[in-house]
C-alpha cells in the first residue's frame, strides 16, 4: 500500500524522511498532523524519531540505514550522534562515515540484504556499509545517472528504478540484488525515485502529485498489498 504525503508542501519526501523496517527518522520540527499521518500509515509499532543532522531537515538524503544499522555523515555532531543512538532500537548499530560524502542517501541505496553504491566510494566506506548494515555491497554506475540513491528505491521485495536506466543496467542490477526491478516514476513523471518516495516492506509513502497509475507500478514493484 502506498499513501500520498508531503512534507512542508514538498513532494520530495525521500529528501526529508528515512523509513526502514525498524524505525522512521523525521526532521525535528515535523508538524503534529504529518506525524500522526505517518504513525497511522505505518501501523506497526516502530519508533518515529525526530532529529536534526548537520542543522538540516534533509534527513533522508544525509543518512543511509536499514533495520540493522544507520550510517551518518562525517560532520554529524556528537550530540546528534548520541541522540540517534539513544532513540533507535537497541539492535540498531549507529556509526559515522569518515569519508566526506555529506549526502550519503544520494550515493547509496539499500535494503536489509544488499546495497548499491556509486563507484567513487572508498574501500573503507564500502566495508563500513557492509559491517553496519549487514549487507553485500555492489559498486555500480548508472550511465549518466551518477547519484544512484536519487534514481532508485528498494525494499526486501523488489525495487523501482528510473526510466532513463538502460535495460541492460536494469537486468544487471536485478541479478546482483536478487530482487526484481521495475521501471517507474513518481510525482507525475519525475525520475527522482529516491527523492519522491519512502518505503519499507509493508508500507510506502509518495508525493501527493504521484498519479494513480504511478502508485499501481510502485505497489506492484515493491509488492505492497492493503
* CA–CA separation, 1 and 42 (whole Å): 10
Beta carbons within 8 Å of 66's beta carbon, 6+ residues apart: 20, 21, 110, 111, 112, 133, 134, 135
Are the C-beta atoms of residues 145 and 116 closer than 8 Å to each other? no
**Is the residue at 38 inside a domain?**
yes
User: pLDDT: is 125 or 172 the higher one?
Assistant: 125
pLDDT digits (tens, 9 = 90+) for 152-168: 999 999 999 987 777 88
pLDDT digits (tens, 9 = 90+) for 82-102: 999 999 999 999 999 999 887
Q: What is the total count of domains within the chain? A: 1
CA angle 21, 96, 27 (to 5 degrees): 55
Give the structural domain span for 156: 2-221
**Is the residue at 226 inside a domain?**
no
pLDDT digits (tens, 9 = 90+) for 17-64: 999 999 999 999 999 999 999 999 998 889 999 999 998 999 999 999
Q: Which of these, 124, 12, 129, 146, lies nearest to 63 by C-alpha position?
A: 129
**Is the residue at 180 inside a domain?**
yes
Beta carbons within 8 Å of 92's beta carbon, 6+ residues apart: 22, 23, 65, 67, 68, 69, 70
Query: What average pLDDT score do residues 8-23 get?
Result: 96
**Is the residue at 198 inside a domain?**
yes
At 132 the three-state DSSP class reads helix
Handedness of CA 189, 195, 201, 206 (dihedral sign): negative
Query: What average pLDDT score do residues 184-211 get?
Result: 94
Amino acid at each position: 500500500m502506498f499513501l500520498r504525503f508531503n512534507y512542508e508542501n514538498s513532494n520530495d519526501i525521500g529528501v526529508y524522511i528515512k523509513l526502514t523496517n525498524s524505525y522512521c527518522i523525521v526532521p525535528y520540527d515535523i508538524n503534529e498532523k504529518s506525524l500522526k499521518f505517518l504513525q497511522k500509515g505505518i501501523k506497526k509499532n516502530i519508533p518515529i524519531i525526530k532529529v536534526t543532522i548537520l542543522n538540516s531537515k534533509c534527513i533522508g538524503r544525509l543518512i543511509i540505514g536499514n533495520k540493522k544499522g544507520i550510517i551518518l555523515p562525517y560532520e554529524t555532531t556528537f550530540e546528534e550522534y548520541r541522540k540517534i543512538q539513544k532513540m533507535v532500537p537497541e539492535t540498531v548499530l549507529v556509526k559515522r562515515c569518515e569519508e566526506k560524502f555529506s549526502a550519503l542517501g544520494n550515493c547509496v541505496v539499500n535494503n536489509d540484504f544488499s546495497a548499491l553504491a556509486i563507484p567513487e566510494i572508498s574501500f573503507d566506506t564500502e566495508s563500513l556499509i557492509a559491517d553496519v548494515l549487514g549487507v553485500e555491497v555492489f559498486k555500480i554506475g548508472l550511465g549518466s545517472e551518477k547519484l544512484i540513491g536519487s534514481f532508485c528505491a528498494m525494499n526486501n521485495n523488489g525495487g523501482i528504478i528510473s526510466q532513463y536506466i538502460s535495460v541492460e543496467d536494469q537486468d544487471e542490477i536485478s541479478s546482483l540484488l536478487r530482487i526484481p526491478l521495475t521501471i517507474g516514476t513518481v510525482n507525475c513523471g519525475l525520475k527522482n525515485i529516491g527523492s519522491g518516495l519512502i518505503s519499507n516492506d509493508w508500507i510506502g509513502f509518495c508525493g501527493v502529485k504521484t498519479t494513480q497509475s504511478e502508485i499501481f507500478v510502485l505497489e506492484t514493484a515493491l509488492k505492497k498489498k492493503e
